[in-house]
Homo-oligomer: A and B are copies of this chain.
Amino acid sequence: MKAVTGESSELKSSKLKPGVNRGLSIFDFILRLAAIVGALGSAIAMGTTTQTLPFATQFIQFRAEYNDLPMFTFFVVACAIVSGYLVLSLPLSIFHILRSRARATRVVLVFLDAGMMALLTSGASAAAAIVYLAHKGNGKTNWLAICQQFNSFCERTSGSLIGSFVAIVLLMIMIFLSGAALSRRR
């Protein structure tokens, strides 16, 4: 029933509102800029995290860096790739503002957005799993929490996840906007 109503109302407004698609494209462009900030901020925050403890034994200095854990490295790489993709997709987004009837490029963008969302979600979740372990530890597997020693390291890595999760939500909204723009009758 919903679809029928949607279609009949769209039949009425057929070719009446070319500006709506342009509005959606402009909104998409703004979301892309915000997502770049989120993803790039996350990559930089995680990539520059390092902490050296103020004490040392004769042979070992206690030092934590993001690349001690492969999941954090993956997170930085994923955030960097997604930032790069989002920057490269900006010209396409501008093209959609100028030519609001374009469709083939929108489908490509939906597909790439979905792929990049999967990559970013994957990196952010893997990093979040490690952050959780670092905070809480796990008694059964005998993995101890390390955040009591490396407290500032833990805070930085936890905080750097925020930007990536914001970017994931923005990417999801972009996919919806592209779908909405594609569904409109031209």
Binding site for B on A (CB under 8 A): 2-3, 5-7, 10, 64, 68-71, 95, 99, 101-107, 110-111, 114-115, 117-118, 121-130, 132-134, 138, 140-144, 146, 168, 172, 175-176, 178-180, 182-183, 185-186
Contacts and interface: CB of A to CB of B under 8 A. Distances in A.
A76 to B, nearest CB: 14
Contact of A130 (B127, B129, B178): B129
Contacts of A127: 129
Contacts of A143: 133, 141, 143-144
Contacts of A128: 126
Given A3-B99, A129-B126, A110 B176 contact: yes
A130 B7 CA distance: 47
Contacts of A138: 68-69
Contacts of A121: 118, 121-122, 125
A146 B183 CA distance: 51
A131 to B, nearest CB: 10
A42 to B, nearest CB: 15
Contacts of A70: 132
A32 to B, nearest CB: 16
Most B CB atoms within 10 A — which of A95, A106, A110, A123? A110
Contact of A102 (B3, B104, B122, B130): B3
